[in-house]
Structure 1
Amino acid sequence: MTFSKIQKSTISQIIVEQIQEKLLKGELEAGQKLPPERQLAEMLGVSRSSLREAMRALQYMGILEIRQDGAHLCENLSLLSDHFKLAYLLKQFSVMELIEARKLVEAEIVRLAAERATAEDRETITEAFEETLRHQEAGEERDFLMADFAFHRAIAEAAQNSVLVEMLNAIRDLLLEVNLDVIKRPNQVQVATAFHEKIMKAILSGNAREASDAMLDHLTNVEEAIAEVYKAELSEDIRV
């Protein structure tokens, strides 16, 4: 197994992109175990802290899982996600196109979740929400983002439609770096948590219309935050 050296001036996203590219080319396979942290950092030519940041991102994206014997690529990698990732590498999607798609997908997901969620689904959604609260209170932005994803995924699972789950996973994977930037805005975590609570309560009460409206309000807020953070890039119509 070989990896290309990475210059120290680059960021952890380059590590993520190299892993993704090797998966797309078949140089890495689902379920494969990665080298130990120290060895992999040396192979990549990066610090262990940069590698850890990349590993957290890969976990968030559902590409990597940490087991007792080390880091493994997930067994059930999404073919739909891989298709979206390939298009992303070819620079075919803009940030705002992805946000627009996410709004359409999640508005339907949450509506179905309110109608179809089982008692177990509702418990999972509640637990996921409580996890986001813990990370908010601790001021752990990156861990909050992973918990945020778990919350949205729990809702998607409750919709009982596996295609919508995969679509959500694919879109959110591509927005990872954007979300990492947006979550650093003052009070953004608190605002997101408030929207999450409204969404959760609507699902638990079985109110599909209220749940859909709350999700759209939440994602509109995210859209506005992204527009503010990436104002210069968006004004120049740079594609990501």
Structure 2
Amino acid sequence: MLRPVQKRTVAEEIIDQIKGLVREGTLKPGDRLPAERELAEQLSVSRASVREAVRALSLMGLVAVRPGEGTFLNEDVGTVFRGSVSAKLLMKKSQIIELCEARRLLEVALVRLAAKRATSDDLTDLRHCLFRMEQSLGTHQVFIREDYAFHLMVAKAAKNDIMADVLETVRDLLMEVQRKVVAVAGAPQRSFQFHKAVYEALVRQDGEGAAAAMEKHLQDVQEVVLAVYERSETGRTD
């Protein structure tokens, strides 16, 4: 059963409760979620928090929002859970490097495709996401979520479902890396500028420009997170 929210951010707790209902089989693929007002009442939260949680679940590929009909659990929701890679695996320096290498191979290719295939709706979604990133520069948890959303939107704009699914499987790892990055002074601002450069290149349909901007961004992420890792290993502080 759903229970009143008591800890963490409200949206995160809503997301975890819905995921829990899926795992235990209470919610099944194709099921319709309770209406926004009903969910808010059951969870003792605001409707705004419910909307935020639903938007995040949609980006994760767990639900589909159908205007005029409601929010439904996706038919392939099981693959999202089976394919998820736990952030607990990210423990060694070598694994951090391997993840960053994999991101370059995948996301640089995706952004080149997106430059050719992105629709006006894709670009609008990316622009809105970029705006939310800028507005959340002082709020790490929100910034991390919007950062991941931007990358997933690029993958979807590339119109290659298999590559987008691969990116989704390492979601937890990517967000864990980003938690380390945003804690470093100046890193979120740099990250935003890199994302802005990617977006502007996509608008120009400049595949090489978008690829170069993504490459610089991912290189910066690797350098920052490795520096954080090395400081934690040696016990040094700034």
* TM-score between the two structures when normalised by the length of structure 2: 0.66
Output the CA distance in 2 between the equivalents of 1:16 and 1:231: 33
Which segments of structure 1 move beyond 3 Å, counting only runs of 4 or more?
15-34, 36-40, 55-66, 72-81, 91-95
Aligned to 1:197: 196
Q: Is the 8 A contact 2:62 2:73 kept in 1?
A: yes
Q: Is the 8 A contact 1:80 1:166 kept in 2?
A: no
Output the CA distance in 1 between the equivalents of 2:57 and 2:180: 16
Output the CA distance in 1 between the equivalents of 2:141 and 2:61: 15
Aligned to 2:122: 121
Alignment of 1:64-213 (within 5 A): 74-75=73-74, 78-85=77-84, 88=86, 95-96=95-96, 97-136=98-137, 139-213=138-212
Identity %: 29
1:229 to partner: Cα distance? 1.9
1:173 to partner: Cα distance? 2.7
Letter paired with 1:106:
E
Output the CA distance in 2 between the equivalents of 1:63 and 1:173: 15
Q: Secondary structure of the residue that 2:159 maps to in structure 1?
A: coil
CA, structure 1 residues 99+19, in 2 after alignment: closer, same or farther (shift >3 Å)? farther
Output the CA distance in 1 between the equivalents of 2:225 and 2:140: 16
1:39 to partner: Cα distance? 9.1
Letter paired with 1:118:
T
Tell me, which stretches of 5 or more residues in structure 2 are unaligned?
Answer: 66-70
What is the number of equivalent residue pairs in this alignment?
A: 218
CA, structure 1 residues 25+227, in 2 after alignment: closer, same or farther (shift >3 Å)? farther
Deviates more, 1:105-114 or 1:20-29: 20-29
CA, structure 1 residues 114+133, in 2 after alignment: closer, same or farther (shift >3 Å)? same
Output the CA distance in 1 between the equivalents of 2:203 and 2:16: 38
1:56-106 superposed Cα distances (whole Å, 9 cap, x missing partner):
99787555899xxxxx99535555543333x538x6666423332222111
Letter paired with 1:141:
H
1:102-155 superposed Cα distances (whole Å, 9 cap, x missing partner):
22111111000001112222222222212211222xx12211122222222221
CA, structure 1 residues 22+105, in 2 after alignment: closer, same or farther (shift >3 Å)? farther
Letter paired with 2:166:
M
Aligned to 1:6: none
Tell me, which stretches of 5 or more residues in structure 1 are unaligned?
Answer: 4-10, 41-47, 67-71
